[in-house]
Amino acid sequence: MITTIVAVLGTLAGTALSGLLQARSARTALVGSEAISRRRDAVDAIAELVAAVAAHRAAMWHRETLRLQGADWTQARAASQSTRAAISAPAVRVAVLTPALRAAADAAVRASYALRGAETSEALSVAREASLAADEHLITEAGRLLGA
């Protein structure tokens, strides 16, 4: 009789332990897949932000070149306002998903805004180069944080 009770208790304990191990394994797999998904979302947000900043930089370059030449830049201004607005959503996503990159992201955004109002073509070129450097810094920092 005792051997039967011990056998039943052993079977129950083995079943319970197996269930606990299986639940833990499933939880670990879920956490791993969530981390991969979060990393992918962060990389996508950074890529979107860099693309939006690049589009705004190009629009501002065109707009400010026209302005400095004394040409009509009304349409270029409308285009630059549109590209500037397109920066907001990816900037928020980067700030929320990767707070450690917020400073670099903000610097890249501000550098693209700095093309506005350049006094000379040379100043415009300097601002453009600074914007490109800020983008590179953001990409480098993202690589360090999110790289393999």
What is the value of pTM for the model shown? 0.78
pLDDT tens-digit map of 7-18: 666 666 666 656
- Length of the chain counted residue by residue: 148
- Residue 84's Cα: distance from chain center in Å? 17
pLDDT tens-digit map of 25-45: 656 655 567 888 999 999 999
Per-residue model confidence (pLDDT) at position 36 = 87
